Structure 1
Amino acid sequence: MALFWRIFGLNAVVLGVATALLLWAPVTVSVPVALTEAVVLIGGLGVMLVANAVLLHVGLAPLERVTRRMATVDLLRPGQRVSVTGDGGVPDLVRAFNDMLDRLENERATSSARALSAQEGERRRIAQELHDEVGQSMTAVLLELKRAADRTQDPVLRTDLQHAQETTRASLDDVRRLAVRLRPGVLEDLGLISALTTLTTDLSIHTGLAVHRHFDADLPQLDQQTELVLYRVAQESLTNVARHAEATEVTVGLRRAGDVVRLLICDDGRGIGLAHEGAGIRGMRERSLLIGASLDLEAAPQGGVQVILSVPLSQSGG
């Protein structure tokens, strides 16, 4: 039944019942209206309005659920649907809304996959250029500075050249570290565990954080895309810890729990506003959708934040 006819029918029922009561009830209205008659009429009007309101509320309840869902739906948290039963105008509208969410989620996942694939390709290109061009140029400058420092007889100039060498060497290390962040070669060469170990070791060296690692030795074989998503989520989470958490220690775990591989990053910092997710966290959610994983952010027992990425083995090739 169309929404118009549904509302019309509800009102018709209420008015029909009221008319029947007026016709068959042994009640008359005098002129002028007596007080008791006015009370009966006003009471009947009130009952009619209440009945109409109740019936309309029941009839339009599915639309209210759709309105609430539209205000809270997030395509990065798939599966949010409005329950629907029956046939007709309102249930069909709810089904159309659910179908629209299905299409939007599929299109979002497809476009995110293309964007992230292009992003990884661009990262590889930039990392290669940093390594092959900038890195080699800075190495050549470093050698020239060393030769100049060895040839000069002026101790002051030699000291200045040696300082320039140290600055260039530090810059070269930064370039190499940036290239590794853009393109984790150790992930491709040695696997996920080695890549996470290197990532956490570098974090500890450069930030002073105490890092605790818990990696299962019998992890199943994961496909390349799943390993890359796990690595990028860990990388972004640890970057957030280093920049914003004001933490003293962080725990990184990678374990198997039944048919799920779970990545856990937990810190003892000041926490973050979980109600307002930034671009980094939403980027992690987009990556997790690529492999059918779920990403949860919760308050950690020791006061910080814990990031949990759960990857079903059926989606990861394990």
Structure 2
Amino acid sequence: MNNGQTGAEGADAGEPGARRDGARRGAAPRPPARALFQRVVVINGLVFALGTLVLALSPATVSSPVLLAEVPVLLVGLALMLAANALLLRRSLAPLDALTALMQRVDLLRTGDRLTDSGHSDLTHLIDTFNAMLDRLEAERSASSAHALAAQEGERQRIARELHDEIGQSLTVVLLGLKRVVDRAPEELREELHGVQETVRASLDEVRQVARRLRPGVLEDLGLHSALSALSSDFSQMSGIPVTKSVQPDLPALGADVELVLYRIVQESLTNIARHARATRVEVSLATEDGRLTLRITDNGRGGAVQDGAGIRGMRERALLIGARLTIDSPPGDGTRVRLVIPDRSATS
């Protein structure tokens, strides 16, 4: 009984409506096991009582011993009682099937999937408790994801600074040293030294590109529009896939967390396209639709993304941080469409 009362208090704390209903009833809800037991007993009792009443009022009689002609009457009565019992029990226990199906498909990265109570009063407490558990797990998952992603961003910035300030500067010093060596080197060695010089210069460019991908300084300095333009330009240069970018000029003011989520989702989407899509065209759009900020990334690749990989799950986690909804449509042979919808309260700073 104590466990049932504790669970009831947890569910009531998460559901104000349930708390008010419990206060009106003036009693704590029954534990689910006891309520289910009582429901089965009541249903069976009603069926047997109804069967007894029908036999008592009907003209049918049963001899002792039972005559062969009376066997069909008994079998029909038994069949009717069993059928009525099965029908009533099936209707009464239907919420358990729905609850089992929800348990099998629930995903904390796809929020809002809940079981609604359809008037089965004995199972209301079980349904409310399960829904409250999902609310708690989603809140805890969102909080832990926020901490993890914040730590990840901090680590990215640290690595980007080290790449830029230490490795980048060291390679720059090497380039300057090579230039002095080339100027004093014999003619027969200059061509070879020029090759080494170009290799170091290419390595320096790669280090700078990695640092930009890790820490989008242009996002902090010039804003989201310029950051998306630079990201699209770098992607087209590296992959050879043209990107058509469309950003609404009069976007609402965005918070730094929203801008970073938008940037990272576009970045991850373009990375997935370059690795897996085999696309020849990409479209990126950011605009307000029906009062909500909507980001779309569309390609004409092979599609067919069935399972979420680490990259897509990371995109879903980022979307949850700002209360946005991420949907990915990837029919085989018809490209992939990524859509992020940000509600008004999350889009504004």
- What range is the shorter-chain TM-score in? over 0.9
C-alpha separation between the residues in 2 aligned to 1:242 and 1:106? 34
1:303 aligns with 2:330: no
Comparing 293-302 with 144-153, which one deviates more in the overlay?
Answer: 293-302
Task: Please say if residues 303 and 333 of structure 2, whose CA atoms lie closer than 8 Å, have aligned partners that are also in contact.
Answer: no
- Partner SS, residue 111 of structure 2: coil
Query: Can you list the C-alpha shifts for 1:212-234, whole angstroms capped at 9, x where unaligned?
Result: 11111111110100000000000
Deviation at 1:307, TM superposition (A): 0.6
C-alpha separation between the residues in 2 aligned to 1:218 and 1:284? 25
Give the % identical residues: 53
Task: Please say if residues 300 and 306 of structure 1, whose CA atoms lie closer than 8 Å, have aligned partners that are also in contact.
Answer: no
C-alpha separation between the residues in 2 aligned to 1:45 and 1:140? 96
Query: Can you list the C-alpha shifts for 1:104-136, whole angstroms capped at 9, x where unaligned?
Result: 111111111111111111110010000001111
C-alpha separation between the residues in 1 aligned to 2:42 and 2:184? 101
Aligned to 1:134: 167
Aligned to 1:97: 130
Unaligned runs of at least 5 residues, structure 1:
none
C-alpha separation between the residues in 1 aligned to 2:183 and 2:331? 55
Letter in 1 for 2:223: G
Deviation at 1:31, TM superposition (A): 5.1
C-alpha separation between the residues in 1 aligned to 2:108 and 2:247? 32
1:280 aligns with 2:311: yes
Deviation at 1:44, TM superposition (A): 1.2
Task: Please say if residues 261 and 310 of structure 1, whose CA atoms lie closer than 8 Å, have aligned partners that are also in contact.
Answer: yes
Aligned to 1:184: 216
Deviation at 1:23, TM superposition (A): 3.0
Letter in 2 for 1:53: A
Q: 1:244 aligns with which of 267, 276, 290?
A: 276
Comparing 40-49 with 225-234, which one deviates more in the overlay?
Answer: 40-49
- Partner SS, residue 28 of structure 1: coil
C-alpha separation between the residues in 1 aligned to 2:68 and 2:308? 63
The structure-2 alpha-carbon separation of the partners of 1:225 and 1:288, relative to structure 1 and needing over 3 Å to count, comes to same
C-alpha separation between the residues in 1 aligned to 2:54 and 2:128? 39
Task: Please say if residues 62 and 91 of structure 1, whose CA atoms lie closer than 8 Å, have aligned partners that are also in contact.
Answer: no
Task: Please say if residues 296 and 337 of structure 2, whose CA atoms lie closer than 8 Å, have aligned partners that are also in contact.
Answer: yes
C-alpha separation between the residues in 1 aligned to 2:78 and 2:184? 107
C-alpha separation between the residues in 2 aligned to 1:143 and 1:170? 14
Letter in 2 for 1:201: S
Tell me the TM-score normalized by structure 2.
0.86
1:120 aligns with 2:153: yes
Deviation at 1:187, TM superposition (A): 0.2
C-alpha separation between the residues in 2 aligned to 1:283 and 1:301? 23
Aligned to 2:297: 265
Number of residues paired by the alignment?
A: 316
C-alpha separation between the residues in 1 aligned to 2:265 and 2:279? 18
Deviation at 1:62, TM superposition (A): 1.4
- Partner SS, residue 263 of structure 1: strand
The structure-2 alpha-carbon separation of the partners of 1:87 and 1:37, relative to structure 1 and needing over 3 Å to count, comes to closer
C-alpha separation between the residues in 2 aligned to 1:218 and 1:258? 15
C-alpha separation between the residues in 2 aligned to 1:301 and 1:281? 17
Deviation at 1:20, TM superposition (A): 2.2
Q: 1:161 aligns with which of 165, 172, 193?
A: 193
Deviation at 1:21, TM superposition (A): 2.5
Unaligned runs of at least 5 residues, structure 2:
1-29
Query: Can you list the C-alpha shifts for 1:232-272, whole angstroms capped at 9, x where unaligned?
Result: 00000011111110001101111112421111111110013
The structure-2 alpha-carbon separation of the partners of 1:300 and 1:260, relative to structure 1 and needing over 3 Å to count, comes to farther
Aligned to 1:235: 267
Letter in 2 for 1:266: T
Letter in 2 for 1:16: A
The structure-2 alpha-carbon separation of the partners of 1:34 and 1:301, relative to structure 1 and needing over 3 Å to count, comes to closer
Comparing 217-226 with 25-34, which one deviates more in the overlay?
Answer: 25-34
Task: Please say if residues 63 and 94 of structure 1, whose CA atoms lie closer than 8 Å, have aligned partners that are also in contact.
Answer: no
Aligned to 2:92: 59
